[in-house]
Amino acid sequence: MKRTFLFSVAAAALALLTTACTTKRGPRTVDWLAADLPAIDSICGAPRTIATPLGDAVAFDGTCDAFYLGTNPLQGMEELTVEVIFRQDGDAAFEQRFLHMGTVRGERIMVESRVDPDRMWYLDTYIRLDKETDLVLIDPEQRYPTDRWYNLAMVVADGHATSYVNGERQLTGEIPYRPISEGITSVGVRQNKVCWFKGALYRIRITPRALRPDEMLTDYKALNGE
């Protein structure tokens, strides 16, 4: 009886171990603080840390500051939500490109802003899958004051992408999304080193599912002292 019991326990343990080893693990949420980015391959210029009510953020000078990460957090994600907690400087150049995931000219997701001379900015999000398949979500009429913190988000699911600012929907467009598996990540500039970002970043989060607005990050409130 004792030998039979021990054999049963061992068999059950082996079955659990086998299941754990053979179960395919799906993509996990990537949550980066800009002041503690992982897998940094190279640094351009001298991005500097700045103090905030939530800890350090990183300021970029709009000329030569950026990070290059040897990782692509989009791998395996069939649907996703990209969020960036950012602050745009009002004296920046018109085109601001601060998050580029994927390849330089092929498949990629980018989060950008455009800055007007009156110190107002608006959101630009971009997805490219191949030469025939891409989507730009941009509306110059939906503008916001610079020099404040915001949550920028793009939700991609069910053949659509939708952009948000502070949980408020901006635009929606159709795209037959598929996982983007190639490439790396640049933070602070487009990967080919054009359109340098002048402003600050606090946090980047990529979630492997479509978040509702009430699930999105609200760090910007504390950063703004609200």
Q: What is the DSSP letter of 12?
A: H
The answer to whether position 89 is within a domain reads: yes
Within-domain flag for 141:
yes
Domain that holds residue 136: 28-223
Within a domain: 54: yes
Closest by Cα among 147, 149, 154, 148 to 169: 154
CATH code, domain with 163: 2.60.120.200
Burial class of residue 68 (count of CB atoms within 10 Å of its CB; 0-12, 13-18, 19+): buried
Give the number of other CB atoms < 10 A from CB of residue 84.
25
**How do residues 5-25 score in pLDDT, each as one tens digit?**
343 434 444 444 444 444 457
Q: What is the pLDDT of residue 15?
A: 44
Looking at the 3D structure of the chain, how many domains does it have? Answer: 1
Task: Please identify every stretch of the chain with a pLDDT value under 50, giving residue numbers as ranges.
Answer: 1-23
Helix extents (H) in 146-212: none
73, part of any domain: yes
Q: What confidence score (pLDDT) does residue 26 get?
A: 85
* Domain contains 164: yes
The per-residue pLDDT for 25 is: 76
14: in domain = no
Q: Does some domain include residue 19?
A: no
Q: How far apart are CA 221 and CA 226, in angstroms?
A: 5
Residue 23 lies in a domain: no
Q: CA nearest 118: which of 96, 148, 94, 90?
A: 90
Distance CA(21)–CA(40), nearest Å, equals 30
pLDDT tens-digit readout, 164-179: 999 999 999 999 999 9
pLDDT at 32: 98
